[in-house]
Amino acid sequence: MINQTEKKIFSVNEIDGGFELLFGNLKLMKHTKTSPVVFIGKGEENIEMYRGNFKIEDYLIERIALRYTKIESVNDNKVTIAFSNHSNTEAAIILTIKQDRERLKIEFNNVSDDVNRLWIRINSYQNEKVYGCGEQLSYFNLRGKHFPLWTSEPGVGRNKNTYTTWQADVKDKAGGDYYNTNYPQPTYISSDKYFCHVETTAYADFDFSHEDFHELQVWNIPQFILFDKAETFIDLVKKISDLFGRQPELPDWTYNGIWLGIQGGTSVVEEKLSRALDKGIKVGGVWCQDWQGIRNTSFGKRLMWDWKWNPEIYPELDTKIWDWKKQGIRFLGYINPYVAVDGDLYKTASQKGYLAKNHKGEDYLVDFGEFDCGVVDFTNPEACKWYRQVIKENLIDFGLDGWMADFGEYLPTDVELASAESAKLMHNAWPVLWAKINDEAVREAGRSGDIVYFMRAGYTGTQNYCPLLWAGDQSVNWSLDDGLASVIPAALSSGMCGNGLHHSDIGGYTSLHGNKRTKELFMRWAEMGAFTPVMRTHEGNRPYDCFQFDDDDESLEHLARMTNIYVKLKPYIKTLVKANADEGIPVQRPLFMHYENDEKAYNIQYEYLFGRDLLVAPVYKSSVTEWEVYLPNDQWIHIWTGKEYMGGDVKVNAPIGCPAVFYRKNSPYADLFQMISKI
């Protein structure tokens, strides 16, 4: 026993031919010659991007098990272990294990430059569950599969067994798979109440398919690996958000109502808004992506990507925006980190050298689907400053109180950056650089706390710079991997990683390959949205193929009711959002977060606790009027009927307008919840 005194948080115990690493009682590693925990190697990757979809292949030249260990030096808070692949050869890598605050930190040294692959095995056991890895849309419990961690388009279909996916693959290389996500993060959370974070921006692949270990693969030598643990999941998410950052509270105007996604120009916005208000829909904002102009492509309507008010489509917006604000309705827009070649911003950026370059030193153009864009080079401080200025002048000063800060996943790996950093290593970092630009622009404008932007792309650090996630582009259908259901694990997994505020496009977005949004899908999605931090509709990529909120009176009335529920819940939601801001406890939580002893709760990914006191089981299938729900052991009141349940598998009526929602009988908000049923 090398390093174990009472004050030590970890110990490295020598065993026959190896060692065990314990973090408190948690056995993180057990290394022997026959089951080594560290492998190094070399690979030659081939990365091809097509419109944000990546084909990544690795020719693995070497992978060497480092079977021989020597515990080299022991300080008070530090153990150094030298690993080699022969008993008589030099160390191929040295791990320094040390205490860092209350965390356990592993650093890597002495690695040959020739090594560009590292695999670390962390101890596991058969019944362990694993969560996190950023925003995961197909699986909340990640056990049994491996998860490549590379920010990209999430895929259309995301399941090789669906016809949508196949068509998307064949036509656009865009089908994706269960692991594709805009927001990956090399951080997992174990059901054993610890988290493990790998500090790297390199391509990584976390493999949770083995019975005895998790194997974390990284395509460089990470800066470090960090572990922390807690007695409860609530404490654990606090620690996670302590590390990665927390989101501020949402502006109070958020709770005024839904953000209506409208496009088409000033008059369309006025008409639709007025109709919505007439029908009693509570509106917090209008969200107009096309405030800066549109272009038509085969994918559907696309935006102009030149990030300034388009007075042709939006006449008088410069005054209307302030009128609406007086009515309590904010105007939200859209921007992303690319500039279209046919725009003025591109010209400026190109002239000033603010764009990333190709190998010939020319501006690198990225294909975004029938139009090309320059990539604003966020490794160039001048370019960052300029883009912050664009946001401040063209968006904030113009009157926008929020926007979708879209994209961030498209940094090509063969681009030349001003900082001379490898684009392969900066690719995953890009979404966070993009978030930071937004964050700093808002701060510089002195508007923190009143402006809110929302992002789909992310990576480690997103927690610090992005105040609100949205789940990206779902297909407008009922598929588990890419439809309504998929946003639930997305909220839960990103929430576990410290992003406590999440929402999705009500109705979904992607209408391709025969998928058309139905009224039923829209209404089911809206009723789920009422039980999330933010309600926002999207017209879809092909609005004419998608049912719209104002397509008939029934859906307008349904939306009115749902927005009234949402607004009524404001006092409750605000406490949740505050708890997230203060302590990093996500607003949407997995059942096990409050029911740790409930084994079944650990595998539930299509229900969530909306705070401590509401259990939400959205109806994610078509043509049903009943819904089966699992309730942890507690006193639950079905919100629409007032019927009490004591836990277990229950079936409730769940016609449209009545998603399966329950509140805890003992909740301090029980009266509020009871009122909901009367709306």
**x/- site string to its own copies, residues 175 to 214, per CB under 8 A?**
-----------------------------------x----
Catalytic residue at 372?
A: no
Strand-pairing partners, residue 261, are: 287
Among the residue ranges 62-70, 306-314, 414-422, 576-584, the one whose residues contact its own copies (CB under 8 A): 62-70
Provide the 8-state DSSP code for 231: S
Binding-site member from 27, 51, 63, 570 for its own copies (CB under 8 A): 63
CB 499, min distance to its own copies, A: 32
Among 79, 107, 110, residue whose Cα is nearest residue 93:
110
Q: How far is the CB of 169 from its own copies (least distance, A)?
A: 8
Report if residue 60 touches its own copies, rule: CB under 8 A.
yes
**What element of type H or E holds 46?**
strand 38-50
Of 492, 574, 579, 656, give the one whose Cα is nearest residue 142: 492
Stretch that binds its own copies, among 97-105, 165-173, 194-202, 604-612 (CB under 8 A): 165-173
Q: State the Cα–Cα distance between residues 522 and 526, nearest whole angstrom.
A: 6
CA 497 to chain centre: 9
Does 85 help bind its own copies (rule: CB under 8 A)? yes
Minimum distance between the CB of residue 62 and its own copies, rounded to whole angstroms? 5
Contacts of 647 (CB under 8 A, 6+ apart): 631, 632, 633, 634, 636
Using CB under 8 A as the criterion, what x/- string covers residues 209-238 for binding its own copies? -x----------------------------
Q: Which residue has the tokens 């406490």?
A: 575
Q: Is 621 in the site for its own copies (CB under 8 A)?
A: no
Q: Does the active-site annotation cover 473?
A: yes
Of 169, 377, 406, 613, the catalytic one is 406
Task: Considering the complex, state which of residue 41 and residue 647 has its C-beta at the smaller distance from its own copies.
Answer: 41
Active-site choice (473, 505, 550, 613): 473
- Given candidates 161, 298, 351, 597, which one binds its own copies under the rule CB under 8 A? 161
Distance CA 224, CA 108 (A): 7
Per DSSP, 364 falls in state P
Find the Cα–Cα–Cα–Cα dihedral 352, 358, 362, 365, rounded to 10°. Answer: -80
Q: Which is nearer to its own copies, 163 or 544 (CB)?
A: 163
Interaction of residue 552 with its own copies, rule CB under 8 A = no
Tokens found for residue 340: 């279209």
Interaction of residue 55 with its own copies, rule CB under 8 A: no
Cβ proximity to its own copies, 168 vs 441, nearer residue: 168
Determine how β-strand 452-454 pairs with β-strand 402-405.
parallel
Neighbours of 157 (CB within 10 A): 29
> Quick check: 70 binds its own copies (CB under 8 A)?
no
For residue 599, indicate whether it is catalytic: no
Interaction of residue 344 with its own copies, rule CB under 8 A: no
3-class secondary structure per residue, 528-583: HHCCCCCCEECCCCCHHHECCCCCCHHHHHHHHHHHHHHHHCHHHHHHHHHHHHHH
Could you give the CA distance from residue 230 to residue 580 in angstroms, rounded to a whole number?
18
Token pair for residue 262? Answer: 């409208």
In the complex, least distance from residue 30 CB atom to its own copies, rounded to whole angstroms: 16
Among 2, 15, 61, 675, binds its own copies (CB under 8 A): 61
Query: What whole-number distance in Å separates Cα of residue 113 and Cα of residue 121?
Result: 22
Q: Which stretch binds its own copies (CB under 8 A): 54-62, 404-412, 462-470, 485-493?
A: 54-62
Task: Could you list the beta-strand ranges (E) of 389-500.
Answer: 402-405, 452-454, 469-470
Which range, of 53-61, 225-233, 325-333, 492-500, touches its own copies by CB under 8 A?
A: 53-61
Residue 675 makes contact with its own copies by CB under 8 A: no
Q: Take residue 217 and report the two structure tokens written for it.
A: 């693969």
Q: Comparing C-alpha atoms, which of 223, 180, 177 is closest to residue 200?
A: 223
Please identify which residue in 19, 23, 39, 403 interacts with its own copies, judged by CB under 8 A. Answer: 39
Q: Is 7 exposed, middle or buried (0-12, 13-18, 19+ CB in 10 A)?
A: exposed
| CB-CB contact of 191 with 124 (8 Å) | no
Site string for its own copies, 405-424 (x = CB under 8 A): --------------------
Scanning 161-169, 370-378, 396-404, 669-677 for contacts with its own copies by CB under 8 A, the matching segment is: 161-169
Looking at 11-19, 82-90, 597-605, 663-671, which segment touches its own copies (CB under 8 A)? 82-90
The first and second tokens of residue 345, run together, are: 């911003």
Q: Which of 5, 6, 7, 88 binds its own copies (CB under 8 A)?
A: 88
Judged by CB under 8 A, which stretch of 157-165, 460-468, 490-498, 573-581 contacts its own copies? 157-165
Least separation in angstroms between CB 440 and its own copies? 44
What tokens were used for 154?
Answer: 């999430």
Of the pair 72, 211, the CB lying nearest its own copies is at 211
Q: 102: closest CA among 3, 246, 233, 243?
A: 243
Binding of residue 166 to its own copies (CB under 8 A): yes
Minimal distance in Å, beta carbon 621 to its own copies? 20
What is the smallest separation between the CB atom of 316 and its own copies, expressed in angstroms?
50
Number of residues that bind its own copies (CB under 8 A): 20
The C-alpha angle with vertex 173 and arms to 172 and 179, in degrees rounded to 5, equals 130
445 touches its own copies (CB under 8 A):
no
Residue 617 makes CB contacts below 8 A (sequence gap 6+) with 606, 607, 627, 629, 630, 659, 660, 661
**What gap in Å lies between CA 619 and CA 629, rounded to an integer?**
10
- What is the nearest approach in angstroms of its own copies to the Cβ of residue 418? 32
Is the Cβ of residue 205 or residue 505 nearer to its own copies in the bound state?
A: 205
Nearer to its own copies, 88 or 296 (CB): 88
Which residue from 86, 275, 443, 643 is in contact with its own copies, where contact means CB under 8 A?
86
Question: 117: phi > 0 → left, psi -120 to 50 → alpha, else beta; which?
Answer: beta
Q: Which of 153, 192, 215, 409 is catalytic?
A: 409
DSSP assignment, residue 390? Answer: H
| Residues assigned a catalytic role | 406, 409, 473
In the complex, which residues of this chain contact its own copies (CB under 8 A)? 39, 41, 59-65, 85-86, 88-89, 160-161, 163, 166, 169-170, 210
